[in-house]
Amino acid sequence: MALITQGPKGTQDLMPKDTAKWQIVEEVMKGEASLHGFHEVRTPVFEHTELFLRGVGDTTDVVEKQMYTFEDKGQRSITLRPEGTAGVVRAMLQSGIYNEGYPVKLCYFTSCYRYEKPQAGRLREFHQFGIEMFGASEPVADAEVILVAKGIFDRLGVKNLRLELNSIGCPKCRANYHKALKEYFQQYKEELCTTCLSRLERNPMRILDCKSEICSKIAEGAPKIVEFLCDECQEHFTGVQEALTAAGVEFVLNPTIVRGLDYYTRTVFEFVSCDLGSQSTVCGGGRYDGLVEEMGGKPTAGLGFGLGMERLMLILQAQGIELPESEKCEIYIASMGKEALKKAIALATELRNCGVYAEYDLCGRGLKAQMKYADKIGAAYTIVLGDNEIAENKAQLKNMKSGEKKDISLGENFLDDYLSNTVDAEILNF
């Protein structure tokens, strides 16, 4: 049987040097979210297909073209999650966490799956950080969600981001907008792609989000939703802008933003990067006040965002923002002979119990090879144990950077000796 050496198309492996950077970014995200009162939730990687048909919308590209759907052994239709919000809404309703009082504030790290052409920053398996808020209908809540995203970017030092803002209204004012869109796009029926032709009757707003060059060009002249907002939606949108201005957040109005999922209402927003080419949106979200009810709950305000990890990491790289690599070994204990190895195991265990990253030989290497390995993994200190060291119950602690050696006890005072010598060395080097 041939060795399988390639992962599925549209996936990538994150090796230790990558995961160390991801973990740092994730800690920044979690830290910023916690300052705003958001707490982590974890949901299954797959859900009943109906969840996404009802939640995401059957006129979206996600549902029509991109979902990974299959039947399980019980002939139930199952789908790998294409986005995070629907699953979080389901979990919120199933758990009854809303009984603890509003607003419910949740955040999550999640992998998502969409069958589409892989591109830079867009894979078939991709990862998102998201936040969701339930039960808050005021415009200030929209601004609060945006502030979480901005706080993350600021903490990471990301530059050249533009916040774009729009309102796509509510079902009441969208009815008139849909009528105007139908009248406009009817003129171009012969030019629209097959998918957009089907959307023309069901949901003409989806045509505005079509990736076809021809449809996109036609959509440029379509009526804008801001011209059809009802008084309540206009007042809400004004309130969002005022709250962002009060927080000192700059933004631009972009009447073409509709987002790619059907559940959005009123506020929609995107953080757009100037460093990613055509795949410029790194974070997008908005309000979805009808989603909870659509999925079987009581009418409940909802809003949130999804922030793409792959795209964010590309931005950090493009802007030269350095992230620390994985933690390096602090001490390597080399050994010669069985007794010395036993002692190395005991000493390493004592060090690890105190939070020190310690290693010893696991491959039966000779002393020279062990020292090469210690240097390769970047060990700050080494100890060499042999028969003499075991007999005398002491060894030499070597600073691998300076070459300085100091005697160290291998008995009861080992830990105190080690800590005092390494702390002194760090102070001197500083």
Name the band, by pLDDT with cuts 50, 70 and 90, for residue 426.
very low
Indicate if 43 and 99 belong to the same structural domain: yes
Q: Is 425 a residue whose pLDDT tops 60?
A: no
Indicate if 289 and 378 belong to the same structural domain: no
Indicate if 393 and 313 belong to the same structural domain: no
Rounded mean pLDDT of 189-205? Answer: 84
Average pLDDT value for the chain: 90
Indicate if 255 and 336 belong to the same structural domain: no
User: How confident is the model at residue 301, as a pLDDT?
Assistant: 96
Q: Is 52 a residue whose pLDDT tops 70?
A: yes
CATH of the domain at 341: 3.40.50.800
Lowest mean pLDDT among 199-213, 264-278, 386-400: 199-213
Range of the domain at 389: 331-420
Q: CB-based contacts of 179: which residues, under 8 Å, 6+ apart?
A: none
pLDDT tens per residue across span 329-380: 999 999 999 999 999 999 999 999 999 999 999 999 999 999 999 999 999 9
User: How confident is the model at residue 202, as a pLDDT?
Assistant: 79
pLDDT tens per residue across span 113-166: 998 887 777 789 999 999 999 999 999 999 999 999 999 999 999 999 999 999
Instruction: Give kind and range of the element (H or E) at residue 341.
Output: helix 338-352
Q: Is 83 a residue whose pLDDT tops 80?
A: yes
Indicate if 374 and 303 belong to the same structural domain: no
Indicate if 255 and 383 belong to the same structural domain: no
Q: Biggest alpha carbon distance in the chain?
A: 94
Given 3-state DSSP classes, what are the helix, strand and coil percentages for the chain, each rounded to the nearest 5? Answer: 45, 20, 35
Rounded mean pLDDT of 178-185? Answer: 88
Indicate if 51 and 141 belong to the same structural domain: yes
User: How confident is the model at residue 62, as a pLDDT?
Assistant: 67
Name the band, by pLDDT with cuts 50, 70 and 90, for residue 428.
very low
Indicate if 289 and 368 belong to the same structural domain: no
Eight-class DSSP state of 404: -
Name the band, by pLDDT with cuts 50, 70 and 90, for residue 209.
confident
Q: Is 278 a residue whose pLDDT tops 80?
A: no
User: How confident is the model at residue 427, as a pLDDT?
Assistant: 35
DSSP 348-370: HHHHHTTT--EEE-SS---HHHH
Of 318, 344, 372, which marks where a domain is finished?
318
User: How confident is the model at residue 3, as a pLDDT?
Assistant: 64
User: How confident is the model at residue 100, as a pLDDT?
Assistant: 94
User: How confident is the model at residue 188, as a pLDDT?
Assistant: 87
Q: CB-based contacts of 358: which residues, under 8 Å, 6+ apart?
A: 329, 330, 331, 332, 333, 347, 348, 351, 352
Q: Please give the Cα distance from 181 to 205 (Å, whole number).
A: 7
CA dihedral 269, 169, 109, 36 (to 10 degrees): 80
Indicate if 377 and 243 belong to the same structural domain: no
